Amino acid sequence: MSNIKITIQYDGTNYHGWQIQPNRRTIQGELTRVLSLLAHHPVTIYGAGRTDAGVHAEGQVANFFTERDGDIQQLRDAINGNLDRDIRVVRAEPASDAFNARRSAIEKIYRYRICKDEVVSPFVYRYVYHYRARLDTDLMRLAASELIGTHDFTAFTVAHADTEDRVRTLTRLAVDESASEIAIIVAGGGFLRYMVRTIVGTLIDVGRGKRTAASVGETLLTRERSSAGPTAPACGLTLVRVDY
């Protein structure tokens, strides 16, 4: 059996997220279907992160074990030939038997794009959150600094999260602004469900003057989801890369 590592890009608009679900179209489900077809045996694929419905990826990473022999790049091309064009395996490479896309990951980097333009281009509308009201990015940066480091992020996930350990470490939370967009870059070792989008929604509340920057740090201490901001729309979020 060979362990194969793949790097995947996808437009998540038409999918119910990464994780395989019965009677729903997912990224993991599509890859599992194609890989099992090509390998002539059931294949289990392990992903680095479970992106939510509508979230995109430029550098999702996964691995799978297969008995199939042959050129690895031909395998990549065969996978792509059986997928819809909104999912693409951009790289395939051999990995050690010990490699696991999720457990071996050191850091994941996400980017959230907010479009400030009066009109959103049809070439980008799937990948941005259109928010035309002015946002104070200086205040958003001040609020972001409250979240960097190791904290209990219970207030920034769903009330009934699927894990008891809600402590996570953010190594970077940056707010970058250009003429037409605000980009929020989030990096860390792992994330809770909806955590990044809830952080973004909270920072937007700060930027629009609905809450103070200092209140964001206080929200961590409450451990109450109701004290954080709304969950930002999925369309603006992209998994940029996974570092090992």
Phi, psi (deg, nearest 5) at residue 19: -70, 135
Phi, psi (deg, nearest 5) at residue 68: -70, 130
Q: How far apart are CA 223 and CA 225, in angstroms?
A: 7
Angle at 192 between CA 187 and CA 193, to 5 degrees: 115
Token representation of residue 65: 């074990």
| Active-site residue set | 52
Under 8 Å CB-to-CB from 11, ≥6 apart: which residues? Answer: 56, 86, 87, 126, 127
